[in-house]
A and B are shown apart, each in its own frame.
Chain A
Amino acid sequence: MNAAEPVREKKTFHLFDFLYKYGTLITILLLIAVFGTVTENFLNAANIINILRSISIVTIIAIGLTVSLAVGGFDLSVGSVASLANALVISMYVWHGHNFGLGIAVTILFCLVVGLINAFLVINFKIQDMLMTLATMFVFQGVALTYTRGATISQNMIMPNGDFAAGQIPKVFGKLGQVPWIIIIMLLIVVSVHLFLTYTKHGRYMYMIGGNPEAAKLSGIAVSRYRLTAYLISALFAAVGGIVLGARVMNAEVNAGGPYLMDAVAAAFIGYSVLGAGKPNAFGTFAGAVLIGILSNGLIMLSVPYYAMDIVKGSVLALALAITYYRRNH
């Protein structure tokens, strides 16, 4: 306590500090350089757009997750919420024949209720966020499955009564899932959440709550309100992710959002270390998603079989975590 703990700035070069700060970005550049020289088409404008398009849904979902991480939470239900949103939005068009705007509005509204349920459970029962949302992850996944009766929703599908579904998916909806809109939506979300977390008082409060909830509470910060907001934002972006997913594939597969959860978690955690932030942040999450996207894309171009892909993805995540935690402990 009374140690002569000197306040000092380290001027010397520390390899791990450097790696911690720039490791992710350097890895991205290295991968680009390697893939760019080894394969012919990697650096094509078309391929770069392809990569951005392929990471957009993961990024959108991961950004929501990042906000829940910022308040010290952990929303594991984002994948399920995306599935639910996917099913809802397609069904609004195909089953109910709603127009473009109404379909999206109803979907987002439902998903916000889901976020509300998450927040209510986590805040009022004081259950660890990860455990609680693990439970709700199953529940919402089940809700989505039950809603679709375990089937894929698509245009002209056969309804239980034997008729064909009459509704059509609006053309403008399909645009959301295509370049350039899908990339624009992603970038808009990344930038606005980055600004929100870094430059507004609300973002500052969220980081404080994540850093020390008790001190935040005693500083007069409305902790519960901000945690609620974080879960709503998380559910909102999961819903947007699910909607964009629906727009891209123009149907709702069974549990289509589920696989995005783990990539989103990976992106958000890789993002911790980007530029030495040391905490969840939107730009880092984007960089994490880019890293994963480049890896997948480049490996496909090198004809690495899809079944071996996860080995590489997992290894990169392990490396990123190793750098982050090595720094933290030393």
Chain B
Amino acid sequence: MTDSKASRLDMKRISIAFPGVKALTEVDFYTVAGRAHALIGANGAGKSTLMKVLAGVYDHYTGEICIDGKEVHIRNPKEAKDNGIQVVYQEVDTALIPNLSVGENIMLDQTVHDMNGRHLIHWKQLHQSAQAVLDKMNVKVSTRKLVQDLTLAEKQMVLIARAVSKQCRFLVLDEPTAPLSHSETEQLFRLIRKLKTDGVGIIFISHRLPELYKICDDITIMRDGQLVVREELAKIDQHKVVEYMLGAKMDGQFPQTETTIGGKCFEAKGIRDKGKVNNVDLYIRKGEIVGLAGLVGAGKTELCRALFGASETSSGDIYLEGRKLRINTPYEAVQNGLALVPEERRREGVFVEESVSVNLTAAILSRFTRLGPWLSTAKEKNASAEIIRNLGIKTPNGQAIVKNLSGGNQQKVAIGKWLLVDADVYIFDEPTKGVDVGAKRDIYDLVAELAGRGKCILYASSEMSEIIGITDRIYVMYDGSIIKELETRNTDEEEILLYSTGGLLT
């Protein structure tokens, strides 16, 4: 704040409408350089739209944007960048060129805009400049590595590096921590703190409330395209934040149900997948929700895929009700009563170009046929209408194309598909990732209800609060192995985190 460049960003009376929808109504937003500002709201609240206005993605908004009280003209992305506004979007892959090196990706804008008529690329200088940026950020990635070989977290670092490699007065981070592991998040936060002291204003969008308190100074909460409150973060607690987001008081995020847990039903022995999963044993009882805790990269996703037969290199024995199952492909897994809700929703979970109804019936289409293989549209329509109603999927009808739904609703579609199947074992891999609070609550209810019907549930998540809130028993994974089994009622987030980070290893 005392920085000589101390600048203030004002967005005044911003309104924008899309055909049929008023996305933002008279939003007044401001933030100051050198501080981190949390921008919070449920899915569809308009925070991404607001940031896109700031980034110059839209040119048909009304209202004005001022920096240091002076109005600036931002109607296209270049003008936003010229004014020092940089945005790192959540979907990192859309902003990177996978078959170019890290260095080329970091220096992309310079290569495009600052060549000043030169036609030859100065490779040494390019890599040196890129390296300098990475060094400053304390990120250890070779600038000559191809981006397609990086992990998700590394890709994000490359994008942030690109943003700060230029004049950067305000940096918008759209859900940057969603794909990051604990230590990577810490690393990101160190970087944000450094940027703050350098006088950069950070606008931070996240669904993970606890981390906002670690890093942010101010908070703006949006709901239904309007600004609800702007406050110093210290003056407002998590419960209050959730209330403002939802517009209504919410008691206990997690469903409180008494389920009766039966006998051992699903059992896996000696599950291995070279380099990813080492000799994992686990079991689930009837009606039990078993948490699979662990940080990102601990092997949870790989274990889930191995159990489901989705990995070609995995091995191990799987038993259901004492019967040994032969599962080499997901097809066999489904035939044997397993269901997997995968982590990467758009790539693995739904068919974005198809309708909601087609998606919902995908896993058990044979039930919607008559006279042999002929599809019955009427049966499909009825079944999908029921799922849409039960899960509260926000869609005009079953014929709507899934790519037009919001993230939370897409996730409900991905889950809903397995409700029709009526499997015995449900494996959820990060089902609430990138989903807003309201939809999260719906998903928790759903998981609890499935358990209530005597299903076996394996619930993999890297959010400790979620694991504590919803499960009965917890396996903690670290580096491809299960290193601890915990009873949920006898443990807490700290203990899980301790094991997850490799502490208390004996």
Binding site for B on A (CB under 8 A): 1-10, 12, 199-202, 204-205, 207-208, 211-212, 214-223, 278
Bound Cα distance A280, B455 (Å): 40
Q: Considering the complex, which residues of chain B in the window 318-338 have a beta carbon less than 8 Å from any beta carbon of chain A?
A: 329-331, 333-335
Contact B330 A217 (CB under 8 A): yes
Nearest-neighbour CB distance to chain A for B268, whole angstroms, equals 18
Nearest-neighbour CB distance to chain A for B357, whole angstroms, equals 11
- List residues of chain B with CB within 8 A of the CB of A3: 44, 48-49, 52, 406
Contact A212 B375 (CB under 8 A): no
Nearest-neighbour CB distance to chain A for B25, whole angstroms, equals 11
- List residues of chain A with CB within 8 A of the CB of B494: none
Known: A1-B90, A4-B23, A6-B20. A214 touches B347 (CB 8 A): yes
Q: B47 contacts the other chain (Cβ, under 8 Å)?
A: yes
Contact A8 B369 (CB under 8 A): no
- List residues of chain A with CB within 8 A of the CB of B369: 200-201
Bound Cα distance A222, B396 (Å): 31
Contact A8 B374 (CB under 8 A): no
- The interface bits of chain B over 18-36 (1 if a CB of A lies within 8 angstroms of the residue's CB, else 0) are 1111010000000000000
Nearest-neighbour CB distance to chain A for B453, whole angstroms, equals 20
8 residue pairs, one from A and one from B, having the closest CB atoms? A220-B334, A6-B21, A200-B373, A201-B365, A2-B43, A3-B48, A222-B331, A8-B20
Q: B400 contacts the other chain (Cβ, under 8 Å)?
A: yes
Contact B350 A215 (CB under 8 A): yes
Known: A200-B375, A204-B375. A1 touches B349 (CB 8 A): no
- List residues of chain B with CB within 8 A of the CB of A4: 18, 21, 23, 44-46, 48-49, 225
Known: A6-B20, A214-B347. A201 touches B46 (CB 8 A): no
Q: In chain B, what residue has the closest Cβ to A278? A: B353
- List residues of chain B with CB within 8 A of the CB of A1: 43, 48, 90-91, 174-175, 407, 434
Bound Cα distance A201, B358 (Å): 11
Bound Cα distance A205, B52 (Å): 37
Q: Contact residue range for chain B?
A: 35 or more
- List residues of chain B with CB within 8 A of the CB of A7: 394-396, 400, 404-405
Contact B340 A218 (CB under 8 A): yes
Nearest-neighbour CB distance to chain B for A217, whole angstroms, equals 5
Contact B49 A221 (CB under 8 A): no
Bound Cα distance A213, B174 (Å): 29
Bound Cα distance A201, B377 (Å): 11
Bound Cα distance A280, B48 (Å): 35
Known: A214-B347, A218-B308. A202 touches B373 (CB 8 A): yes
Nearest-neighbour CB distance to chain B for A279, whole angstroms, equals 8
- List residues of chain B with CB within 8 A of the CB of A215: 347-351, 362
Q: B446 contacts the other chain (Cβ, under 8 Å)?
A: no
- List residues of chain B with CB within 8 A of the CB of A207: 354
Q: In chain B, what residue has the closest Cβ to A195? A: B374
Q: B368 contacts the other chain (Cβ, under 8 Å)?
A: yes
Contact A201 B368 (CB under 8 A): yes
Q: B246 contacts the other chain (Cβ, under 8 Å)?
A: no
Q: B398 contacts the other chain (Cβ, under 8 Å)?
A: no
Name the contact of B358 in the complex, choosing from A5, A204, A222 (C-beta under 8 A).
A204
Known: A2-B406, A214-B348, A222-B329. A204 touches B18 (CB 8 A): no
Q: Considering the complex, which residues of chain B in the window 398-421 have a beta carbon less than 8 Å from any beta carbon of chain A?
A: 400, 404-407, 417
Q: In chain A, what residue has the closest Cβ to B339? A: A220
- List residues of chain B with CB within 8 A of the CB of A220: 330-331, 333-335, 363
Name the contact of B351 in the complex, choosing from A6, A8, A201, A212 (C-beta under 8 A).
A212
Q: List 8 A-B contacts (CB under 8 A).
A: A6-B19, A8-B19, A201-B369, A215-B348, A215-B351, A217-B329, A220-B333, A220-B334
Q: B342 contacts the other chain (Cβ, under 8 Å)?
A: yes
Bound Cα distance A12, B42 (Å): 30
Nearest-neighbour CB distance to chain A for B434, whole angstroms, equals 5
- List residues of chain B with CB within 8 A of the CB of A9: 396
Q: In chain A, what residue has the closest Cβ to B333? A: A220
Contact B405 A218 (CB under 8 A): no
Q: In chain B, what residue has the closest Cβ to A224? A: B329
- List residues of chain A with CB within 8 A of the CB of B434: 1-2
- List residues of chain A with CB within 8 A of the CB of B405: 5, 7
- List residues of chain B with CB within 8 A of the CB of A221: 331, 362
Bound Cα distance A170, B333 (Å): 52
Name the contact of A199 in the complex, choosing from B46, B374, B404, B436 (C-beta under 8 A).
B374
Nearest-neighbour CB distance to chain A for B408, whole angstroms, equals 8
Contact A211 B351 (CB under 8 A): yes
Name the contact of B375 in the complex, choosing from A199, A214, A216, A223 (C-beta under 8 A).
A199
Nearest-neighbour CB distance to chain B for A295, whole angstroms, equals 31
- List residues of chain A with CB within 8 A of the CB of B42: 2
Q: In chain B, what residue has the closest Cβ to A222? A: B331
Bound Cα distance A5, B373 (Å): 36
- List residues of chain B with CB within 8 A of the CB of A204: 358, 365, 375
Bound Cα distance A214, B440 (Å): 25
Q: B366 contacts the other chain (Cβ, under 8 Å)?
A: yes
Q: In chain A, what residue has the closest Cβ to B41? A: A2
- List residues of chain A with CB within 8 A of the CB of B174: 1
Nearest-neighbour CB distance to chain B for A45, whole angstroms, equals 35
- List residues of chain B with CB within 8 A of the CB of A217: 310, 329-331
Q: Considering the complex, which residues of chain B in the window 433-449 have a beta carbon less than 8 Å from any beta carbon of chain A?
A: 434, 436
Nearest-neighbour CB distance to chain B for A218, whole angstroms, equals 5
Nearest-neighbour CB distance to chain B for A235, whole angstroms, equals 21
Nearest-neighbour CB distance to chain A for B470, whole angstroms, equals 23
Contact A211 B349 (CB under 8 A): no
Q: B1 contacts the other chain (Cβ, under 8 Å)?
A: no
- List residues of chain A with CB within 8 A of the CB of B335: 220
Q: B352 contacts the other chain (Cβ, under 8 Å)?
A: yes
Q: In chain B, what residue has the closest Cβ to A205? A: B365
Q: In chain B, what residue has the closest Cβ to A196? A: B373
- The interface bits of chain B over 157-200 (1 if a CB of A lies within 8 angstroms of the residue's CB, else 0) are 00000000000000000110000000000000000000000000
Known: A1-B434, A4-B225. A219 touches B363 (CB 8 A): yes
Contact A2 B407 (CB under 8 A): yes
Q: In chain A, what residue has the closest Cβ to B396? A: A7
- List residues of chain B with CB within 8 A of the CB of A211: 351-354
Name the contact of A218 in the complex, choosing from B20, B46, B349, B374 (C-beta under 8 A).
B349
Query: Among the interface residues B365, B395, B400, B404, which one has the most CB atoms of the partner chain A within 10 A?
Result: B365
Contact A2 B48 (CB under 8 A): yes
Bound Cα distance A200, B45 (Å): 41
Known: A2-B48, A7-B405, A218-B348. A201 touches B91 (CB 8 A): no
